[in-house]
Amino acid sequence: MTATTTTRATATPVVAADGRRTLRSWHDEVRALHAAGRTGEAIDLLGRLTEAVPSEPRLRHGLVALLRADGRAVDADRLAVELDPNDAGAWCRLSRHARCTQDLDLFVEASLGWEAARPGDPTVAHFAAIARQIRDGHTHARPEAGYIAELFDHYADRFEGHLAKLGYRGPDVMADLVADLIGDGELRADSTLADLGCGTGLVGDRLRDATPWNGHLTGVDLSPRMLDHAAARTFDSRPVYDAVAEADFVDYLDTVPTGLDAVVAADAFIYVGDLRPVFAATARALRPGGWLVATLERLAPGDTAATTANGFRADLSGRYLHDDDWVERELLTAGFDVVVVEPMSVRREGHRPTPGSVVVAHLPRHAP
């Protein structure tokens, strides 16, 4: 990898054979050009200096700084990791840039470089695993819990404002479906619900506000700061959530003491690839005849993962896309009898609706 610097073929040699100009005097000229606002020329000159005197790392560091000052962050970071492969910050920025520009080659290189520079970090490990998925076709089943907690703890105070800009309507979709189940006599108004990946509590709020449901609600989330918001949320002077649990979906479902009537999960299962353990744990935690209502991001038909046994893959966004047919099959395998998986977008990305699906699944009333 080399920095994008232009070398003029007719340019004066950096250090003349008779040694008349010292490196310092050239360096002063670079500074003077930069100070005069002629940063592009300063970069050209410093680029030639670094090529002429490759043994002098300070020149390259100076070039990194100049490229950054000139707004050429990617060139600067490329050169920075050439100079120091342990520069985790530069690898991180390159990986993020590659995600924005969908540059798969750069994403793979930068994410694996980032992992080598910062081993053991759950966020880095997640993106490195996605890089290996792209490069080698490895399955990346789910991120470590630490990635989710860190991501959403940082995001918690901005979360709702950001989602409003994306036209997010997951909570409305959940509320409509729960209201329909109550209207159809499938759920009692005082039934017991768990909201998996409750975040700041938008779903609970909507359920209390927009449906006849008034039962017991537990919010489950891995992010303590998201849960703080959910726990503080009130409706009609009473807490929206009767209980909150800081836990992974499966850990919570495996320890829930009584049979739940329904489990809702809006925009939360998109952080798990292999949902089979979640489906199995949900089936165990629900009472006979209980319901699961969830949203997913949808894997496009023809996407390579849809043709494999997996039926899911991690996206450069860090979230997972799932194949509708795979989801339906795995819910039936987990013991659900009626399963509906339908296309439905719950938010936008850029100016386009993010392809999504809504899942409604029912457990048999009696053991088969």
Ligand X SMILES: C[S@@+](CC[C@H](N)C(=O)[O-])C[C@H]1O[C@@H](n2cnc3c(N)ncnc32)[C@H](O)[C@@H]1O
Interface residues with ligand X (CB under 6 A) are 148, 152, 170-171, 197-199, 202-203, 220-223, 226, 248-249, 266-268, 271-272
Pick between residue 88 and residue 240 the one whose CB is nearest to ligand X: 240
Residue type for position 182: I
Per residue in 189-226, is it b (16+ CB within 10 Å) or e — as a string? eebbbbbbbbbbbbbbbbbbeebebeeebbbbbbbebb
Pick between residue 249 and residue 326 the one whose CB is nearest to ligand X: 249
Q: How far is the CB of 355 from ligand X (least distance, A)?
A: 16
Pick between residue 59 and residue 226 the one whose CB is nearest to ligand X: 226
Pick between residue 264 and residue 305 the one whose CB is nearest to ligand X: 264
- Measured CA to CA, the distance from residue 291 to residue 200 in angstroms comes to 23
Pick between residue 122 and residue 364 the one whose CB is nearest to ligand X: 122
Contacts by 336-341, CB closer than 8 A, 24 or more apart? 336/279, 336/283, 336/292, 336/361, 336/362, 336/363, 337/362, 337/363, 337/364, 338/362, 341/296
Pick between residue 94 and residue 262 the one whose CB is nearest to ligand X: 262
Instruction: State the residue for tokens 């959910």.
Output: 230
Q: How far is the CB of 206 from ligand X (least distance, A)?
A: 9
Q: How far is the CB of 366 from ligand X (least distance, A)?
A: 30
Pick between residue 8 and residue 162 the one whose CB is nearest to ligand X: 162
What are the start-end ranges of the E strands in the chain? 193-196, 217-221, 234-235, 238-239, 243-246, 260-265, 286-297, 312-314, 320-322, 338-343, 348-349, 352-353, 356-362
Instruction: State the residue for tokens 């630490």.
Output: 146
How many helices (H) and strands (E) are present in the chain, helices listed first? 15, 13
- Measured CA to CA, the distance from residue 220 to residue 230 in angstroms comes to 10
Q: How far is the CB of 170 from ligand X (least distance, A)?
A: 4
Question: Do 336 and 328 contact (CB within 8 A), yes or no?
Answer: no
Q: How far is the CB of 334 from ligand X (least distance, A)?
A: 17
Q: How far is the CB of 347 from ligand X (least distance, A)?
A: 9
Angle between helices 23-35 and 57-69 (to 10 degrees): 10
- Tokens matching residue 64: 């990194």
- Measured CA to CA, the distance from residue 220 to residue 201 in angstroms comes to 10
Strand partners, 348: 353
Question: Do 274 and 332 contact (CB within 8 A), yes or no?
Answer: no
Pick between residue 33 and residue 265 the one whose CB is nearest to ligand X: 265
